[in-house]
Structure 1
Amino acid sequence: MFDWHSWLGLAASVAIALAAAFVVAVITKLIVVAATKRREWPRALTSKARHPYRLLLAVIATWAAINFSMPGMDWVDHAFLIALIAVGAWFIGAIVSFGIGLGMGRYRIDVPDNRVARRIQTQLAIVRRLAFAVIVIVAAGSILLTFPGVQAVGASVLASAGIVSIVAGLAAQSTLANVFAGVQLAFSDAIRVDDVVIAEGEWGRIEEVTLTYVVVHIWDDRRMVLPSTYFTSTPFENWTRSGSELLGSVEIDLDWRVSPVAMRAELDRILARTNIWDGRASVLQVTDATGGFVRVRILVTAVDAPTLFDLRCFIREEMVEWLQTQDPAAIPRTRVQMVQSEQRAESAPTSETHTDQIGLFTGSAQAEERASLLTSSIPIIETDGRRD
């Protein structure tokens, strides 16, 4: 008769148990696929949970085979219990990840008008992280409680739980504040994944929301990591809070000879040539006329912030081209008034000279002429070698 309690019997028991686990895994897969034909989610479930499920079946089958062949081995039972808890936590985590991923897949954020989808994506991402944290903590605690020494210490730890919780709360005050802020952000709808925000003076999109920090993808491909408390305690701009449509302006300083009517007609032609304008609003107004210039402001709308930026640049380029070719008189000029000659004329003396005393050689033009005759050189005439 075959001895199942020998090493050979142990090997045979383990082999049979593993074969049975493999058969159970195959049957489970066939049942899931047959029950959900023409659907995509069974493939995702199989991909997520295949390895932990098979490993879980293998651990259970091997443990049962060892207990059948060689019962009473406490250290083996302890080791397999720890392995069962760890693999079971892995399997539960895979199921949770599949379920949350299935929900996130139904809400796409790469489509227009995705405000609800972005909110759901953010909340599900936070829930997934919370679930993973709870699973890991529970599994680690369960493994520790399998050791007799930890069980003995557990009573005293629970007795002083109030003091320990106070000390831990004070020590991890900033961390806990970020955790609570992360949960608040996820469920208060203040920010969502793919929201366009202005934080710390930088324009970017919310790329990731975690329990303790938020990653902002800045427009030049930098990443700014901010604590979750930043978005609960610091004012910031959210450009897609209730919708992604935005209104933007283009301001140009021009000469006084510009024609707003002609510019308004050209703006209509420019917008008719592009498909990035959403057609909601287009306004051209003269908002200022001081300092020698006329300020023209153009208001246009677009479906989102990146499209609005491209539209503003396009309008600015087209207007510059039109001003250079069609209305050069509207190009700004700096005017300078020459007043130097007028100042000299005002400061020059008049032809009439008024003096208190008029003498023989001073005081009048005739006196000055007589003085010049007397002070000029006298010619000397030589005759016959003599000077007269």
Structure 2
Amino acid sequence: MEDVLRPVVVIGGSIVVTIILVWLADRMLRKIDAVHPETPLWGLLRRCRIPAQVVLCAALLRGAYDETGLAPVDEHEAGVGQALTLVLIAATAWLLIRAAAAVVESSYTRYAASGRDAARVRRVRTQVTLIQRVVTATLIIVAAAAMLLTFPEMRAVGASMLASAGLLGIVAGIAAQSTLGNLFAGLQIAFGDMVRIGDTVVVDGEWGTVEEITLTFLTVRTWDERRITMPVSYFTGKPFENWSRGGAQMTGTVLFHLDHSAPVEKMRQRLYEILQECEDWDGRSWSLVVTDTTPTTMVVRALVTARDADAVWAVRCQVRERMIEWLRTEHAYALPRIATAPAPLGHQEVPRDGRRD
């Protein structure tokens, strides 16, 4: 009877204690979250329930597995202890990653709620995202190293590994030169405020919005929903346009090629009427001037402003469409015309004396 009760008490007791303790901690976090709704940290920490259960259960079993009295456990005591140790290390890393993600997300959410500068909010978002990735990668590497060091064979070769670390470091540095370059470029972007998540950029002639930044690559979502993935080292080694630097407001132009008889003053008044009815125009500035002329046409430039790149595109399209429609219906003579002349009927020979018949 004792042979049956002991494993049930040890294993079942560990599971029951784990469930009770994690349930109590979850209820405490729920109550704290209800009392302090302005801080999302407590609610986010509830995501750690599953890894906390694994850590606690693995720790309890690791300390009491040899008390079960089961024959398979006694025969493979070292293997069972090694397996529980590996599970405990992996679960601890999982728990720390979840907790770090909760802290980072809570900090960003509070800053975004109180911050009024959209550019600074995007900058903080970029930085905390990369910091979270660095912390996650570091914890995974440390956990993997700790798991390997639990094997006696790995400890035995530790001295030889340290002795050859210099040569391996040189070889690895040469082999991973591009990867390390992108890694440092990612950190430079995060803390150098060169480009942020949500910025409007133009790279290689493509206009889009920065959607994701990692330690090695950056994703730009174009206006037609395509994704351009580029190494982050591109943004530290080549020039690019960042339309969101210094504020999201933008100025756009619309060019009209018209006949010299076009009513410029009436066009100026019509532009103002169009902008008054345009919701995307921010009201900061507008103008309409003649910027160039040719023997057959003149170039009229309309200048408009908007709150961001998407809005200025919409304003430009609306101004172009409505102004052309107005010219076509009210002042058709102002549209460009092509002058033509009758072509000669053919070549006529001239007599040697220079007179025509």
Per the alignment, residue 369 of structure 1 pairs with none
CA contact (8 A) 2:282 2:306 kept: yes
**Superposition TM-score, scaled by structure 2 size:** 0.90
Query: CA-to-partner distance for each residue in 1:263-311, whole Å, 9 max, x for gaps?
Result: 1111111111111100111010000111310110011100011111110
CA contact (8 A) 2:255 2:300 kept: yes
Please name the residue that 1:223 is paired with. Answer: 227
In 1, Cα distance between equivalents of 2:272 and 2:31: 60
Which residue number in structure 2 is paired with residue 117 of structure 1?
121
Structure 1 residues not aligned, in runs of 5+? 352-388
What does residue 86 of structure 1 align with?
Answer: 90
Structure 2 unpaired stretches of 5+? none
> In terms of Rg, which structure is larger?
1
Report the alpha carbon displacement of residue 339 of structure 1 after superposing the two structures with TM: 9.6
User: Distance between the aligned counterparts of 1:263 and 1:26, measured in 2?
Assistant: 72
- C-alpha deviation, 1:26, in angstroms: 1.8
1:32 to 29, 32, 43: 29
Is the 1:198–1:236 contact (alpha carbons within 8 Å) kept by the matching residues of 2? yes
Equivalent pair of 1:89/1:139 in contact (CA under 8 Å) = yes
RMSD between superposed Cα atoms in Å: 2.5
- The yes-or-no answer on 1:330 pairing with 2:334 is yes
Corresponding position of 1:8: 5
Q: Distance in 1 between matches of 2:132 and 2:207?
A: 28
**What residue identity is the alignment partner of 2:51?**
P
1:43 aligns with 2:43: yes
Give the TM-score taking structure 1 as reference length: 0.83
Residue 168 of structure 2 corresponds to which residue in structure 1? Answer: 164
- In 2, distance between residues paired with 1:65 and 1:14? 9
Mapping for residues 1-388 of structure 1, pairs under 5 Å: 3=2, 6-38=3-35, 39=37, 40-46=40-46, 48-70=47-69, 73-108=77-112, 114-336=118-340, 349=355
Change (3 A) 1:112 1:20: closer
Contact 2:32 2:42 in 1 (8 A): no
Q: Which has the higher contact order (CA 8 A, sep 6+)?
A: 2
Q: Deviations over 1:324-359 (max 9, x none)?
A: 121112111122466969xx9xx99599xxxxxxxx
Query: In the comparison of the two structures, how many residue pairs are matched?
Result: 344
Q: CA contact under 8 A between 1:113 and 1:243: conserved in structure 2?
A: no
Amino acid at match of 2:19: F
Give identity over the alignment, percent. Answer: 37
* Change beyond 3 A, Cα 1:300–1:18: same
